[in-house]
Structure 1
């Protein structure tokens, strides 16, 4: 009888281990391996949740200025260090007030519950090291319908407007 029970348990144990491995792989797929920030898929789910619950939320896009030059001049290790530093600073700025993600390359994204609670000037200043960064912001309250896709498009337009204004420093545009 004990052998019969053991024979039944072994496949169940195998499936449990397999399920645990798949769960860990899925969690890793939703995190950027270099920065530890959420990837687009992981961040989007959290951002949509925050936008639905917090009418004063805002979406930010951050792009590092002259990132390609840094990589070409000082190598990929320097570029990676700049990405990690940017991610750490963005994550710290969001704190418990929001969540940050990395869309790819040198482009980062964040959503915060209340734009007034976040010191945007402090974020811009801290992101200015090691490279200048362009930041675009879209307060959800300014949208006719609070949709993440519209907020991202507006933040993207604001970020590129900031990039066009200066090549020396970062500007925040709303």
Structure 2
């Protein structure tokens, strides 16, 4: 074979190899992206986009280990949520939950663990030093009491009860203990319009770190 045709053949084989390699890499990239999306979907609540139980718990424990006494566990429970579903429809209820989730995420910031426990109950673990704790929690209550405007123009008056627990006040950095204390504080201040901070934890009947009898305790699992 003459030098020129031989060179062209060699170039052609080389180009074909590069094209095949590029296609394979593109295929693997698309596959990796698909796997990443599937993994993210299993970690996120499909309605609110907040972390599900396992992902929330893992991140919450890392934050507690990192921030120690400067961390806080915050429980949030929508007030009169059933009435919203009953009088305005479940689409309105979903809109309220989505709005509350967005407000929690904005309030907590990108480094917090923000999870939906189930139904209209949420939890946040974040760095929240004592010097700013009451002010920040009061701000959260104000955010959660702002009306929600639906796509059809209707306005929903909303409210939420908030309870919080910090390791220094409760005497423990264990997530289950802090969640139990935050849950108790929430119920002590239910419908008060103010966030309630837990003091030294008083034992209450609980299931996996949540007050016994609360909806979803059976499904909350062992991790929390």
TM-score bucket (shorter structure): 0.7 to 0.9
Aligned to 1:120: 137
Using structure 2 for the length normalisation, give the TM-score: 0.66
Q: Which runs of 5+ in 1 are unaligned?
A: 3-9
1:42 equivalenced with 2:55 (yes/no): yes
1:149 equivalenced with 2:207 (yes/no): no
Name the CA distance, whole Å, in 1 between partners of 2:139 and 2:25.
Answer: 53
Structure 1 residues 94 and 124, CA gap change in structure 2 (3 angstroms): same
Aligned to 1:172: 195
Kept in 1: contact 2:44–2:51 (CA 8 A): yes
Question: Which has the higher relative contact order, 1 or 2, with Cα contacts under 8 A spaced 6 or more apart?
Answer: 1
Aligned to 1:27: 40
1:171 counterpart SS class: coil
Aligned to 1:106: 120
Q: Which runs of 5+ in 2 are unaligned?
A: 1-13, 15-22, 148-157, 198-224
My pick for the range that moved more, 20-29 or 51-60, is: 20-29
Shift of 1:124: 0.7
Q: Which runs of 4+ in 1 moved over 6 A?
A: 10-16
Q: Give the paired residue count.
A: 170
Q: Please state which structure has a larger fraction of its residues in helix.
A: 1
